[in-house]
Amino acid sequence: MLAPFEVLFETELPAYQLPEELGRLYGRLGFADRVVYSNFVSSLDGVVALGTSFSAGSVISGKFEGDRFLMALLRACADAVVIGASTMRATPGHLWTPAHVYPDLASSFSALREMLGRAPQPRLVVLTAAGDLDVNHPALQKGATILTTHQGAERMGGRQPATCDVVILGRGKRFKVKRAFDELHERGFQVILTEGGPHLVGQLIAGQVLDEAFLTLSPVVAGRGKARRLGMVEGAELLPLMPVWSRLLSVRRQSDFLFLRYALPAT
């Protein structure tokens, strides 16, 4: 049975009225009315991805129950969960819902969504320039918003399930993530979680779109060999010219895992 998180540090933060069991386990949690936040699990040596065909998060966390719970809780708070197509390609059977990663408390997560006035499930949003998505992926079958380019939409050729809507955001190789997130806000998604990989998050941090980052530090050491293993940010070189100093908001602990929450610099 999951033990309550030990709160080691927490600043003054917004606090939702959480259903009893969620509050008992996690303590206080809440967000600003309009926010973009990310969630990663990292190895002790900074590895978050293990190659294209691995669902790296579960391997790096060892499916640690506290991490699964937090993943579900953060999903339960969100209007939408945004990922890049590589993350979808790396996790063929996944659903980006609270119950999929923590079924035991599915009813508490649903109760939280109802109390917050959210839809029954967060909307999945997938970014793709290439349009190379498996239309039989169960998450697409359940319904998603696909943000893509003209070429991406052409490549998909209308094969996406009827539960999906496709939004074209430009003609080039890819679109600006700021534009994508402005579009999502305009469509009514105000509280947005990104579980996108390092390439998406790199653009969100460089473009000052990301407000907060949740980071689970797993006690495992992943190591690096010849094949490239990604850290939390890829494709954006920040230091030394573009330093991004974040502010620690909270630290929780369960067993040998640390659960960190940071605020990114305001835009």
Ligand X SMILES: NC(=O)c1ccc[n+]([C@@H]2O[C@H](COP(=O)([O-])OP(=O)(O)OC[C@H]3O[C@@H](n4cnc5c(N)ncnc54)[C@H](OP(=O)(O)O)[C@@H]3O)[C@@H](O)[C@H]2O)c1
Residues in touch with ligand X (CB under 6 A): 40-41, 48-49, 54-57, 60, 83-87, 90, 127-130, 132, 174-175, 177, 195-200, 203, 230, 234
- Nearer Cβ to ligand X (18/76): 76
Nearest CA to 18 out of 98, 100, 96, 114 is that of 114
- Nearer Cβ to ligand X (93/117): 93
H or E stretch at 89: helix 85-90
DSSP state, 122?
P
Residue 159: count of CB within 10 angstroms of its CB: 11
- Nearer Cβ to ligand X (111/130): 130
Query: What is the C-alpha to C-alpha distance for residues 202 and 222, in angstroms, rounded to an integer?
Result: 21
- Nearest approach in angstroms of CB 99 to ligand X is 19
φ, ψ of residue 28 to 5 degrees: the values are -90, 145
- Nearest approach in angstroms of CB 73 to ligand X is 15
- Nearest approach in angstroms of CB 181 to ligand X is 10
- Nearer Cβ to ligand X (18/97): 97
- Nearer Cβ to ligand X (58/110): 58
- Nearer Cβ to ligand X (2/215): 215
- Nearest approach in angstroms of CB 118 to ligand X is 22
Q: How far apart, in Å, do the first and last CA atoms of the chain sit?
A: 41
Nearest CA to 163 out of 180, 183, 138, 130 is that of 138
Q: What does the block give as tokens for 37?
A: 């936040």
- Nearest approach in angstroms of CB 12 to ligand X is 27
CA 22 to chain centre: 19
- Nearer Cβ to ligand X (14/51): 51
Query: What is the C-alpha to C-alpha distance for residues 156 and 210, in angstroms, rounded to an integer?
Result: 29
Residue 48: count of CB within 10 angstroms of its CB: 23
- Nearest approach in angstroms of CB 162 to ligand X is 21
Query: What is the C-alpha to C-alpha distance for residues 168 and 262, in angstroms, rounded to an integer?
Result: 32
- Nearest approach in angstroms of CB 166 to ligand X is 13
Residue 229: count of CB within 10 angstroms of its CB: 17
